[in-house]
Amino acid sequence: HVQLVESGGGSVQAGSSLRLSCLASGDISRFNCASWFRQTSGKEREGVAIIDSDGSTNYADSVKGRFTISKDNAKNALHLQMNSLKSEDTGTYYCAVRGGRCRWLLIGNDPVEYDTWGRGTQVTVS
């Protein structure tokens, strides 16, 4: 059973950058679909970025042009580069993976389709 651990969160000023990492305890390459979600108090978990095994990616409209998702199978890692951070980016960020390809999730991400999650890392932008 693979475990995921996020890191890289913190408290930063608007306009700053952060790079989140998600390290897997095992072979992450067997997970064909990987995503970053975020959640704020009282709101549902929102898909921020997704990457398929063929390299296809998609982003929430609110982060397009600012965030970049990447997956490093050799290091069993998933990353999220976040630039030009805004206060509305504040939240707890979770990485999630699933064995199957992303398929329809590239268009409409859904947290219920993922079976392995990290515990989250907090990002606060002020």
pLDDT of residue 17: 98
Contact 118, 6 (CB under 8 A): yes
As a whole number of angstroms, the distance between CA 73 and CA 69 comes to 13
Cα angle 52-82-14, degrees, rounded to a multiple of 5: 155
Contact 91, 20 (CB under 8 A): no
pLDDT of residue 26: 94
pLDDT of residue 41: 87
Q: Residue 65 region, left (φ>0) first, then alpha (ψ -120 to 50), else beta?
A: left
pLDDT of residue 84: 98
Which residues of the chain are under the pLDDT cut of 70? none
The DSSP line for 70-90 is EEEGGGTEEEEEE-S--GGG-
